[in-house]
């Protein structure tokens, strides 16, 4: 998983202006299991800082990703130590060695962050940029101007000379893979997904602009080449090169590849190795991107392994039977989740065999291991992780729930429309469901789980925090032999659980 600060000069949606920054962002957002976009910083280049901030804000709102922090950077001639620069500095310092910086604009914001903290570059995991050139970039017989590094030569020269682990997707190396004919773009996206249709309709204007200018309905998608490199460098051939970089040279974006100058810097200038594989991955990210106000269900579970799951039933069932029953519960839940208009994420207790969960939840949007000390912290982390992907509401459920229906989940999401938190009680004093629209760590801290007052205590903590709370319909879970004996008369005989209970009876289990 890459933790990304995305720095851009996106003007997508402004009539006549470029749109490839937006496509670079949408690619990353279409790969939530591989990239977490921690924030977006806006710089000038394709447009003014205000134009970029406004256009990006509209784009995030339209697509339902407006929970991602968005920061305006300094405009031309302004102090580079902007809110965007401060965000970069604070985020990198909070997570040294973890942050990947993707820069596809003027580099003013990264330069401003360096001015705020001269040790910043040593704390970044990597810097991936699109810009510069090492040989003339020809389009319709004319050299294309470089419009990223050259927009702020001082900032670019500083970053390239002082930064570490820098990979630059140059104009030369991105020219061929970034070529995007309108016919191909529309055909692949419009026939693929709702997100694809949105992108084709929202950004198709750029092809019309290029057709009027050059008589050809095609455009370049330079910046997405950098985003794909960040996540899939195996599709590229790395080309480390000693470059002589000066502020004067950055006025044109010139990267002087040489070993003769005394003050060279080592930069990686990757090239796409397999064009077909690259384009497949590029389109795949766009098609997997999710559009619209989004809801997510988190299935909080263990892998159904004998001896590690449903162990409280061991007096009645064997370890293998416990695991089989748990798998039946999960298979029924998978069917329930399918009926709800929400993406499903499976948060599992760390297990080397976790991939068997993919068989049970084939339609899941993502799988990740639980993290944190104690049940409360692990649930808190799971909710935070999914909400950070841009979801407007997330509901987390347990898995010992063979009686849960889609109506329980729908009631949970309905409760979140006008409330901050939703809880679904169980008859033993706990809860089977907790949902929220924003992180609420305070309801998990200091909580003792497993007793008969978990629901009540959580409700009181939420009230004390000033949160509005909704109560979902109750649904009992199955933890003990007593719970299991009462299940047979309630569960649907045709369900996976119903059929497994019948199997247990035939094996001599008294239910």
CATH number at residue 196: 3.90.245.10
Classify residue 17: in a domain, yes or no: yes
Say yes or no to pLDDT of 123 above 90.
yes
Q: What average pLDDT is seen over the chain?
A: 91
pLDDT digits (tens, 9 = 90+) for 210-231: 888 878 888 889 999 999 999 9
Q: Are residues 235 and 327 in the same domain?
A: no
Say yes or no to pLDDT of 5 above 90.
yes
Q: Are residues 237 and 154 in the same domain?
A: yes
**Residue where a domain stops, chosen among 233, 256, 288:** 288
Looking at residue 92, what DSSP letter applies? H
**Residue where a domain stops, chosen among 270, 288, 306:** 288
Distance CA 504, CA 58 (A): 56
| pLDDT of 86 | 98
Residues comprising the chain, all counted: 511
∠ Cα 39 43 47 (to 5°): 130
pLDDT digits (tens, 9 = 90+) for 393-417: 999 999 989 999 999 999 999 999 8
Looking at residue 368, what DSSP letter applies? E
Q: Report DSSP letters for 220-247, one per residue.
A: E-TTHHHHHHHH-GGGEE--EEEEE--H
Classify residue 511: in a domain, yes or no: no
Say yes or no to pLDDT of 430 above 70.
yes
Q: Are residues 284 and 302 in the same domain?
A: no
Domain limits at 14?
2-288
Q: Are residues 218 and 313 in the same domain?
A: no
| pLDDT of 48 | 96
Q: Are residues 458 and 313 in the same domain?
A: yes
Classify residue 208: in a domain, yes or no: yes
| pLDDT of 140 | 66
The SS3 assignment for 132 reads coil
pLDDT band of residue 507 (cuts 50, 70, 90) is confident
| pLDDT of 293 | 62
More confident residue, 116 or 448: 116
Q: Are residues 314 and 415 in the same domain?
A: yes
**Residue where a domain stops, chosen among 255, 288, 321:** 288
| pLDDT of 502 | 87
| pLDDT of 137 | 82
Classify residue 445: in a domain, yes or no: yes
| pLDDT of 434 | 97
| Number of domains comprising the chain | 2
Q: Which of 375, 364, 367 is nearest to 303 (CA)?
A: 367
Q: Are residues 64 and 188 in the same domain?
A: yes
Q: Name the pairing type of β-strands 35-42 and 70-72.
A: parallel
* Token code pair at residue 511: 């239910």
pLDDT digits (tens, 9 = 90+) for 244-299: 999 999 999 999 888 777 788 999 999 999 999 999 999 999 999 987 667 899 99
Q: Are residues 302 and 283 in the same domain?
A: no
Percent of the chain residues topping a pLDDT of 70: 99
Classify residue 468: in a domain, yes or no: yes
Q: Which of 226, 224, 221, 192 is nearest to 204 (CA)?
A: 221
Classify residue 119: in a domain, yes or no: yes
CATH number at residue 459: 3.90.550.10
Q: Are residues 299 and 436 in the same domain?
A: yes
| pLDDT of 120 | 98
Looking at residue 447, what DSSP letter applies? P
Classify residue 419: in a domain, yes or no: yes
Q: Report DSSP letters for 278-306, one per residue.
A: HHHHHHHHHHH---SS-EEEEEEE----T
Q: Are residues 335 and 423 in the same domain?
A: yes
| pLDDT of 486 | 78
pLDDT digits (tens, 9 = 90+) for 316-357: 888 998 889 999 999 999 999 999 988 899 999 999 989 999
Sign of the CA dihedral 33, 39, 44, 49? positive
| pLDDT of 448 | 78
Residue showing tokens 């930069």: 267
Q: Are residues 183 and 306 in the same domain?
A: no
258: buried, middle or exposed (CB in 10 Å: 19+, 13-18, 0-12)? exposed
More confident residue, 68 or 218: 68
Overall average pLDDT of the 41-61 stretch = 95
pLDDT digits (tens, 9 = 90+) for 157-209: 999 999 999 999 999 999 999 999 988 888 888 876 778 888 888 888 888 88
Say yes or no to pLDDT of 314 above 80.
yes
| pLDDT of 501 | 86
């Amino acid at each position: 998983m890459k933790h990304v600060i995305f720095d851009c000069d996106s003007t997508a949606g402004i009539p006549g202006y470029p749109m490839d920054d937006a496509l670079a962002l949408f690619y990353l957002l279409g790969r939530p299991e591989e990239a977490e976009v921690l924030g977006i910083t806006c710089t000038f280049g394709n447009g003014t800082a205000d134009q970029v901030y406004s256009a990006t804000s509209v784009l995030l709102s339209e697509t339902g990703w407006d929970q991602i922090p968005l920061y305006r950077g300094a405009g031309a001639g302004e102090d580079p130590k902007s809110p965007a620069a401060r965000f970069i500095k604070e985020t990198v310092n909070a997570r040294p060695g973890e942050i990947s910086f993707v820069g596809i604009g003027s580099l003013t914001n990264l330069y401003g962050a360096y001015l705020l903290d001269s040790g910043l570059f040593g704390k970044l995991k990597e810097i991936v940029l699109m810009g510069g050139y090492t040989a003339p970039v020809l389009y319709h017989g004319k050299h294309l101007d470089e419009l990223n590094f050259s927009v702020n030569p001082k900032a670019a020269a500083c970053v390239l000379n002082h930064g570490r682990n820098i990979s630059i997707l140059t104009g030369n190396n991105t020219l061929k893979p970034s070529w995007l004919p309108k016919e191909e773009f529309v055909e692949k996206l419009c026939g693929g997904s709702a997100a694809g249709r949105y992108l084709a309709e929202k950004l198709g204007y750029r092809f019309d602009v290029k057709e009027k200018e050059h008589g050809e309905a095609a455009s370049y998608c330079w910046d997405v080449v950098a985003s794909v490199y960040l996540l899939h460098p195996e599709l590229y051939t790395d080309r480390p090169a000693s470059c002589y970089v000066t502020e004067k040279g950055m006025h044109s974006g010139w990267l002087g590849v040489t070993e003769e100058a005394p003050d060279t810097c080592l930069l990686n200038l990757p090239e796409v190795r397999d064009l077909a594989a690259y384009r497949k991955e590029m389109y795949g990210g766009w098609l997997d991107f999710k559009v619209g106000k989004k809801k997510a269900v988190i299935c909080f579970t263990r892998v159904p392994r004998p001896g590690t799951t449903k162990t409280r039933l061991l007096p009645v069932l064997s370890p293998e039977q416990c695991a089989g029953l748990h798998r039946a519960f999960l298979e029924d839940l998978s069917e329930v989740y399918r009926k709800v208009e929400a993406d499903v994420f499976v948060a599992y207790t760390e297990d080397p065999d976790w991939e068997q969960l993919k068989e049970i939840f084939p339609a899941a949007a993502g799988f990740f291991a639980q993290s944190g000390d104690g049940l409360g912290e692990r649930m808190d982390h799971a909710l935070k992780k999914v909400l950070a992907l841009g979801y407007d509401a997330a509901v987390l459920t347990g898995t010992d729930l063979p009686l849960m229906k889609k109506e329980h989940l729908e009631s949970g999401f309905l409760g979140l429309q006008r409330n901050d938190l939703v809880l679904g009680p169980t008859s033993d004093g706990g809860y089977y469901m907790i949902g929220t629209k924003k992180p609420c760590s305070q309801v998990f801290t200091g909580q003792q789980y497993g007793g008969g007052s978990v629901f009540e205590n959580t409700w009181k903590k939420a009230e004390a925090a000033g949160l509005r709370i909704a109560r979902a319909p109750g649904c009992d879970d199955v933890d003990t032999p007593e719970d299991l004996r009462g299940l047979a008369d309630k569960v649907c005989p045709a369900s996976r659980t119903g059929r497994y209970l019948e199997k247990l009876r035939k094996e001599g289990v008294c239910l």
